[in-house]
A and B are shown apart, each in its own frame.
Chain A
Amino acid sequence: MQLQLFNYTAEAGWSVEAFPQLDSPNTLILVFGATAWLDNPAPIQQLAKAYPQSIFLGCSTSGEIFGTTILDESLAVAAIRFTTTTIQGACVPILSSNGSFDAGQAIANQLLQPNLRGLIVLSDGTSTNVNGSNLVRGLNSILPDSIAVTGGLAGDGARFTRTWVLKDKMPHSGYVAAVGFYGENIHFGHGSKAGWRIFGPERRITRSQENVLYELDGQPALELYKRYLGERAADLPASALLFPLSIRESHDSDKQIVRTILSVDEETQSMTFAGDVPEGYFAQLMRASFNGLVDGAAEAAAVARAYTPDIDDTLSIAISCVGRRLVMGEYTEDELDAALEVLPKGTQQIGFYSYGEISPFATGYCDLHNQTMTVTTITED
C-alpha cells in the first residue's frame, strides 16, 4: 500500500509541487473539503484530471483534518494505491423520505461480493430526506456483520445548510457514496468514543417521529434546550450541539447512543437529530468535558489499533463530530494529537468534522453515532 497526503488552500495552492504518481484502478483518492467547492469545483477537477483511473470518495466538512491540524476552506487529500486489494465505488441518490434506507440497501447490493472486507460510506448531511439511522439500517439489512462499515455524514461548517459528496469525481448534494475494499490482505480497524458526560435528570421521550423530537416529559424539547442555552439560544441550531442527547431504551439499558441535533423548527417546536430518537426511550442531556473528549478520541484510536497489525504505512481516517469542535474551540486539535499519538509510529491521519459518524458498536452491526470521534485504520499486508 502506497500512501500520500496533501492539501489545497486558496491562499497557498497545492501543498505538493506535483500530484503523487499513484493513479491506478486500485487507487483511492479521499477528498475532504469546504462546502464552497460545490460552487467552485476547480481544484477537484484538477484532481480528477490527475487521477483518471482512480476511485474518488469525498465529502464536505465542518473542518478538514489533516494530520493533527484542522483546516477550513481547504481540500484535504489522501492518495492510497493498494497492492493486492481491489476497490469499487458506488453512489446513489437519496430520493424520498425513506430514501436513506433505500440508498443504504442499494449501496450494499452494489458493493456486496464474496471477498468484500470493508466499506467506507459518506452521505449528504443536510438534505431533507437524510436520516443517518435509516441509512445504516439499509446497509445492515443486506450486509453480513463480518464486514466493517465506517463513515459519516458530510458537514457544512456550523451552518447546517448544504453539503456535498463526490459523484463521478464532482461534488453533488443529495447523494450517498461508498467504496468497498476486497481481498485477503487489507485490515480494517475501527473505534468510536464520545467522552461526553451525562448530567441532569433523565427524561422520557414522550413525542417523536423517527429523528424528529417534539417532547420530553410532555414539555417541548426546544424549550428545554433554550432554557439551558440562555443567550446562546440565538446561535441555534449550532449551539444545541453543546448539549447532545444521550438516549437509551430503558433505565437499565447499558447501550447508550449519542444523538446530535441537525436543525430546529420554531413553528412545531421540534428538533431534528442526525439519528432516530424513538418515543418511549429515555434521554439525558450531555455536556462537554475537555479532558473527557480528548480521552475519548485517544480511546477510539486505541480500539481501532487493536484490530490491525502494526504496519508503518497505516492510514487513519478520523471522523469527529462538529459538536466536539464547537465545544473545544482552540482546544480541538488536542483530540487529533491524542488520537494519532496512540496509533503506530508513521501513521498518517486525515479526516473531517462531520454531522454524524458511522461505525460498528464494539462488535457486530454498525450504527450511527453522534458527537463521537470515530477512527478507522486501514493497512495492507
Chain B
Amino acid sequence: MIHHVLRRQLRKLGLGPQEVPSPEQWAQLVERISQAYQEADQERYLLERSLEISSTEMKELYEQLRLSSETRIAAERDKLRQAKFELEQSLSLLQATFDATVDGILAVDRDGNMVSMNQNFIDMWGIPSKIVESRDDNAALQYVLSQLASPEAFLSKVRDLYGSPEAESHDFLEFENGRYFERFSKPQRMGDEIVGRVWNFRDITRRRQTEAELLQAKEAAEAANRAKSTFLANMSHELRTPLSAIIGYSELLQEQAAMTGHTLFTPRLDKINVAANHLLAIINDILDLSKIEAGRMDLFREKFAVSELIEQALITTRPLVEKNNNRLFLYLDPQVADMYTDQAKLRQILLNLLSNAAKFTSNGHITLRVLADTVETEAGSQPWIQFVVQDTGIGMSTEQIDHIFQPFTQADVSTTRQYGGTGLGLAITSRFCQIMGGTIQIESQIGLGSKFTVHLPQALGQDELESMETVPVVPVKRPLTTTENRGLILVIEDEPNTRDILTHHLQREGFIVQTAVSGADGIHLAQHLQPHLITLDAFLPDIDGWEVLDTLKATPQLADIPIIMITVSDERARAFRHGAANFLRKPIDEKNLSKVLSNY
C-alpha cells in the first residue's frame, strides 16, 4: 500500500506503482518527492512556531485576566473594609450619643417590645435592675404607669401611636410626686420600612419650677411698676394744682409790680415764674410718662392736614431756632396730604424733636423732611409717613445713643446744666411713636449732628385704638401752597451775581435755597442737607466743578440727588457723561431754568 500522493506523483509521470522509471522519470520523481519533503518541513516549522507563539499569547492573556480579576477582587475587598469601618464608626458615634445625652431613650420594635434603652432612661424612671435584666415589657410598663398622675392618658397615647406607625409625637407627662417629663417619639425607619419607634424622655421638673418663679417675679414687678405709675400720676395731679396757683399769682404780681412801679421785684418775680413753669413742664412730662407706663394713655384719632400741623410746629419753634442763629429748612413731599391719627401727640413729637435740634445746634442748619412711604403688611400695602429731623449740632456718642430714649437721660449730666430740659422729652417721644404704631430711629455722630427719623402709619389702626373715644373729624382748613413745598435746593456757585439771580429765581419757583461758594463747601453741605436738587457751576475757585460732580456721584448717599450742571460753554455731552441730570448755560435764562426745574 503506497501513499496516495506518491501514487499521484507516479501517475503524473505516466508510471504505475510496479513500473521501473526511465532516468528522466526518476529524476522528476526524486524532485517531486524532495519537494514534498521540503513542503512538509516548512509546514511543520509553521505549525510548531504557531503552537509556541499562540501558547505564549494565550498564557499572556490568562495572566492579564488573572491580574485584572485579582485587582478587581482587591478593590472590592478594600471597598468592603472601608464600608465596615464607616459602619463601625457611625455605630460608635450612635452609642456615644445614646450614652451621653441627658435624655432617657427607649427603642421598641413594631409590637412595642423593648429593644434598647440607655442608662438615663433607667435612672429617670428609677426602674429596678430586676425588671431591666428580665426584659419583661409588661413589668416595665406597670412600673412606669404606677408613677404617673394619669396613667390612662399615657396608655391611650401609646396605643394611638402604635396604631399609626408613621406618626411623631410631643407631649408632657405629669408624675404623682410633682415631677414633669417632656416626651418625644419618632418612628425608626430602615429604608422605607418602619421597624420600630424611639421614645425620648426629658426631665423638665426644674425648668418648669424656674419658669413659674420667673413668671411670678415678672408679675410682681409689673404690679409694682403700675403702682408706681399710679402713684406718680396722682402725685403729679396733686402737685399741679398748687403750682398753677404759684404761676398765676406770680404773673399777677408781675403785672401789679409793673403798674405800681415796684420794678425792684420784677426780676425776682420773673425768676419765680420761670422756675414754676419749669417745674410745671417737668410735672407734665412725668404725668405723660407715668400715664403711658400705667397703660392709661389714650389715643384720639382725627383727620388733619399734615401741612397745617407742620406750619404750626415751625411757628412754635422758630424763636428757639433763631435764638441760636440757626436756619431751618423744610421739605414736604407733595404726596403727603392728610393723616388720620392722634394730632396732639404727633405735634408733641415734632415739637420735641425740633426744639431739641434747635437747642443743641448753634449757627447751623436744621431740616425737617416729611416723606410719603408705604409698608408691606399682611393686609397689603399701607401708606406711612416719615418725619426726618436733622441738625448740624453737637451730636451724640454711640454710648449716649444707647439710652437716649430712657427717661431722665440727656447726653450727660453736664448737658442738663448747659442746655436745660427735663430729660423726659425723648422718652415721651419714643413712647408716643410706639403707641401710635410707629418707630423712631436715631443716627448721630459727635460734632456732626443728629438725625431722628419718625415712621408712622398714615392712619391709626384698630390695634392702637382699643380704648379710643370717637372724635369728630376736623376738616382740612388750608393746604400749603405749591410755592412753599418744592424742597431744598443747593446752589454751588462762586460768582455773586449769578448766585443772587439763581437764588432769586429758585425761591420764586418755590424752593428753599441754600448756597455754597466753593466746591468743598458744596460737598460738605450736600452731605449735611441731603438737598432735593443741586445746581453746580463748572468753574469753582478751589475744586474744579467737574471733580465736585464726580465726588457727589461717587458718594452713595448723594448719588441719587439730581445735579444741574451750569457752564459758560456748551458742554452738554460732558455733563451727561459725568452723570449730571441736566445742563444749563450761562447767562441763566429764566425760561430755560423754569423748564429744567419743571422736571423736579
Residues in chain A within 8 A of chain B (CB atoms): 69, 199-201, 227-232, 242-243, 285, 287-288, 327, 329-331, 333-334
Given the known interface contacts A232-B42, A327-B43, A330-B5, the answer about A200 and B50 at a Cβ–Cβ threshold of 8 Å is yes
Q: Is the CB of A200 within 8 A of B58?
A: yes
Tell me if A229 and B46 are in contact (CB < 8 A). Answer: yes
* B557 close to chain A: CB less than 8 A: no
| Residue ID in chain B nearest A235 by CB atoms | B42
Please report B residues at the A interface, Cβ cutoff 8 Å.
4-5, 8-9, 12, 32, 35-36, 39, 42-43, 45-47, 49-50, 53-54, 57-58, 61
Nearest chain-B residue to A290 (Cβ)?
B43
CA A228 to CA B46, docked complex, whole Å? 8
* Complex Cα spacing A271 to B49, Å: 21
Residues of B contacting A232 in the complex (Cβ-Cβ under 8 angstroms) = 42, 45-46
Given A228-B49, A230-B49, are A200 and B54 also a contact pair (CB < 8 Å)? yes
Bound Cα distance from A285 to B54, whole angstroms? 10
* Chain B binding surface, main DSSP class: helix
Tell me whether A201 and B47 are in contact (CB under 8 A): no
Selected contact of A330 from candidates B39, B45, B58, CB within 8 Å: B39
Distance from B389 Cβ to chain A, minimum over Cβ atoms (Å): 86
Complex Cα gap A285–B49 (Å): 13
Ranked 8 nearest A-B pairs via Cβ: A200-B54, A329-B39, A330-B36, A230-B49, A201-B57, A201-B61, A330-B5, A199-B54
Which residues of chain B come closer than 8 Å to A329, judged between CB atoms?
A: 35-36, 39, 43
Chain B residues with CB under 8 A of A69: 12
| Known contacts A329-B36, A330-B9, A331-B5; is-contact A200 B57 (Cβ 8 Å) | yes
- What CA separation (Å) do A258 and B165 show in the bound complex? 69
- Bound Cα distance from A285 to B8, whole angstroms: 31
Task: List the A side residues contacting B45 at CB < 8 Å.
Answer: 230-232
Residue pair B58, A201 in contact (C-beta under 8 Å): yes
A330 to B28, CA, bound (A): 14
For the complex, give the distance between the alpha carbons of A379 and B332 in Å: 120
User: What is the minimal beta-carbon distance from A71 to any residue of chain B, in angstroms?
Assistant: 10
26 contacts across the A-B interface (CB closer than 8 A): A199-B54, A200-B53, A200-B57, A201-B54, A201-B57, A201-B58, A227-B53, A228-B46, A228-B49, A228-B50, A228-B53, A229-B49, A230-B49, A231-B45, A242-B46, A243-B50, A285-B50, A287-B47, A288-B43, A329-B35, A329-B43, A330-B9, A330-B39, A333-B8, A334-B4, A334-B5
A229 to chain B: which residues have CB within 8 Å?
A: 46, 49
B50 near A287 with CB under 8 A, answer yes
Chain B residues with CB under 8 A of A334: 4-5
Nearest residue, chain B, Cβ from A329: B39
Residues of B within 8 A of A287 (CB): 46-47, 50
Q: What CA separation (Å) do A327 and B4 show in the bound complex?
A: 18
- Residues of B near A242 (CB, < 8 A) are 46
- Least CB distance from B6 to A in Å reads 9
- Closest Cβ of chain B: how far from A221's Cβ, in Å? 14
Residues of B close to A228: CB separation below 8 A: 46, 49-50, 53
Chain B CB within 10 A, most for which of A227, A230, A242, A330? A330
Chain A residues near B36 (CB-CB < 8 A): 329-330
Most buried by A among B32, B35, B46, B53: B46
User: Complex: how many Å from CA A35 to CA B46?
Assistant: 29
In the assembled complex, the CB of A228 is this many whole angstroms from the nearest CB of chain B, namely 6
Within the complex, what minimum Cβ distance (angstroms) separates A66 from chain B?
12
C-alpha gap A327/B42 in the complex (Å): 9
Residues of B contacting A200 with CB < 8 Å? Answer: 50, 53-54, 57-58
B310 to chain A, nearest CB (A): 90
CB < 8 Å neighbour of B32 from A201, A327, A330: A330
Q: Which residue of A lies closest to B48 (CB)?
A: A230
Since A228-B50, A228-B53, A333-B8 are in contact, a sample of 15 more A-B pairs with Cβ atoms closer than 8 Å, ordered by chain A residue number, is A69-B12, A200-B54, A201-B58, A227-B53, A228-B46, A229-B46, A230-B46, A232-B42, A243-B50, A285-B54, A288-B43, A329-B36, A330-B9, A330-B35, A334-B5
- B4: nearest chain-A partner, CB-CB: A334
A333 CA / B36 CA spacing, docked (Å): 13
> Which chain A residues border B5 with CB–CB below 8 Å?
330-331, 334
Q: How far is the CA of A231 from the CA of B8 in the complex (A)?
A: 30
How long is the Cα–Cα vector from A331 to B50 in the complex, in angstroms?
21
Chain A residues within an 8 Å CB radius of B54: 199-201, 285
Kindly state the separation between the CA atoms of A287 and B12 in the bound complex, as whole angstroms.
29
* Complex alpha-carbon distance, A327 and B32, angstroms: 16
Residues of B within 8 A of A243 (CB): 50
Q: Of B35, B36, B39, which is in contact with the most chain A CB atoms at under 10 Å from its CB?
A: B39
Are A199 and B46 in contact, with the CB atoms below 8 A? no
B61 and chain A: residue at smallest CB distance? A201
| Closest B residue, CB atoms, query A229 | B46
Tell me the complex Cα distance, A288–B9, Å. 22
Note all chain B residues with C-beta closer than 8 A to A327. 43
Instruction: Give the CA-CA distance A214 to B4 in the complex, in Å.
Output: 42
Q: How far is the CA of A199 from the CA of B46 in the complex (A)?
A: 13
CA–CA, A243 and B50, complex, Å: 10
Report Cα–Cα, A69/B8, bound state, in Å: 10
Q: Please, how many angstroms separate the alpha-carbon atoms of A193 and B476 in the complex?
A: 117
Q: Which of chain B's residues have a CB closer than 8 A to the CB of A333? A: 8
CB-CB nearest in chain B for A331: B5
A238 to chain B, nearest CB (A): 12
Cα-based distance from A285 to B58 in the complex (angstroms): 13
User: Measured between C-beta atoms, what is the minimum distance from A107 to chain B in Å?
Assistant: 38
Distance, CA A230 to CA B41, complexed state (A): 14
Question: Complex: how many Å from CA A200 to CA B12?
Answer: 38
CA–CA, A334 to B8, complex, Å? 9
The interface residues of chain A lying within 8 Å CB-to-CB of B50 are: 199-200, 228, 243, 285, 287
| Chain B nearest Cβ from A69, distance in angstroms | 8
Measured CA separation A315–B180 after assembly (Å)? 113
A227 to B61, CA, bound (A): 17
Per the bound structure, the CA–CA distance linking A330 and B11 in Å amounts to 13
Shortest beta-carbon distance, B294 to chain A, in Å?
96
Alpha-carbon distance A228/B57, docked complex (angstroms): 11
Q: How far is the CA of A333 from the CA of B7 in the complex (A)?
A: 12
Please measure, in the bound complex, the distance between the C-alpha atom of A286 and the C-alpha atom of B468, giving whole angstroms.
110
Q: Report the bound CA distance from A331 to B57 in whole Å.
A: 31
Q: How far is the CA of A61 from the CA of B464 in the complex (A)?
A: 117
Cα distance, A331 to B61, chains bound together (Å): 35
Among B4, B35, B57: residue with most chain A CB under 10 A: B57
Cα–Cα distance between A327 and B12 once the two chains are bound (Å):
20
CB proximity of B16 to chain A, nearest CB, Å? 17
- The complex places the Cα of A287 from the Cα of B49 at a distance, in Å, of 12
